[in-house]
Amino acid sequence: MKIKKEAICGTLESNDLLVKVVPFGGLQVSIYSEVMRQFGARIREVVDETLKQMNVSQGKFVIEDKGALDCAIRARVQTAVLRGCDSEELDWKGL
């Protein structure tokens, strides 16, 4: 899946995260979190896993985390990808 346009998903409220994505030649993910030290690795793991499941090969992601649970991370990243690809087609098995 390729990101075709800029997209944004989520909020900066507590326990949530904001995902911004723009079209990009390769795949780049930047993560910012108040709890970077304790959870940075876990957040990256979940994001990478989610992007892999959706077959995302291109796009620049900037993620600002406010203490979101894995389920919120997955959901927001998936929605940002769908918005960025202008698609509503969900491959449920891929999730």
Which pair of structure tokens corresponds to residue 30?
Answer: 């930047």
**Footprint on residues 20-39 left by another protein (CB under 8 A):** 20, 22, 30, 32
- What is the bridge-based pairing of β-strands 59-65 and 17-22? antiparallel
Q: Do 42 and 95 contact (CB within 8 A), yes or no?
A: no
HSE-up (13 A, CA, CB side) for residue 60: 5
Shortest gap between Cβ of 53 and another protein (angstroms)? Answer: 12
**Does residue 12 interact with another protein by CB under 8 A?**
yes
**Does residue 58 interact with another protein by CB under 8 A?**
no
Sites of contact with another protein (CB under 8 A): 6, 8-18, 20, 22, 30, 32, 62, 64, 68-72, 74-76, 78-79, 82-83, 88, 90, 92, 95
